[in-house]
Amino acid sequence: MGDDMARLQKRQRQKMLKEKLNSSPFIRDEELADLLNVSVQTIRLDRLELGIPELRERTKQMAEIAQKQPKTMASVDVIGELIDLEIGKNAISIMSITPDMVFEKTQIARGHFVFSQANSLALAVIDAPVAVTGVANIKYKVPIKNGEKLIAKAEVIKKRGNKYFIWVKTRNDRQEVFRAKFIMVSLEQ
């Protein structure tokens, strides 16, 4: 009977530990021990059993997650799937051309979808809370067909004042299909 009770208490404690760490990821083991009325060693054993890293590692993980979030826009506003982002440096997105993105007669992609992928990626990569497209110099190199997968790579070339110069190159699986040079303007005061 005593073992069942202890197991139940342990399960309950670990559940409370997980909930507390979800709501307060930067809480120290000592604070958790006081809160749950157990030793620091018990908290550490519980964390180990639950696969929850120590505070230093949790802090590092949170910083990495934050670094991968666009500052200018929500991730959902990026056209295509954002697969890599290093704010202020470069970014990559992937987009598949679907039947609703092409002209019915020719099955060639409508240009604004390809532009939107590049433009939203250029906005996502810059280190500014609010920005707009100032200049876009674009070149459609080859027609893009229904079903093709496009990989766009954005690179911040330079920053001058509140202006960011970004090049985006988009490829299908064979060749470069689109290229853009953007000047993005930060509206930060």
**Count of structural domains within the chain:** 2
- Kindly report, residue by residue over 55-90, the tens digit of the pLDDT: 778 766 766 665 556 666 565 567 888 888 888 999
Residues 6+ apart with CB under 8 A from 142: 175, 177
Residue whose tokens read 């704010």:
87
Q: Are residues 21 and 88 in the same domain?
A: no
Residues 79 and 167 in one domain: yes
Alpha helical stretches, state H, the chain: 2-23, 29-36, 40-50, 55-67, 111-125
46/56: higher pLDDT: 46
Place of tokens 């853009």: 180
8 Å CB contact between 126 and 88: yes
Of 17, 41, 66, the domain-final residue: 66
Q: Which residue has the higher pLDDT, 14 or 70?
A: 14
Q: Are residues 110 and 182 in the same domain?
A: yes
Domain range for 14: 2-66
Which pLDDT score, from 0 to 100, does residue 82 have? 86
Q: Do residues 115 and 126 both lie within one domain?
A: yes
Q: Are residues 24 and 53 in the same domain?
A: yes
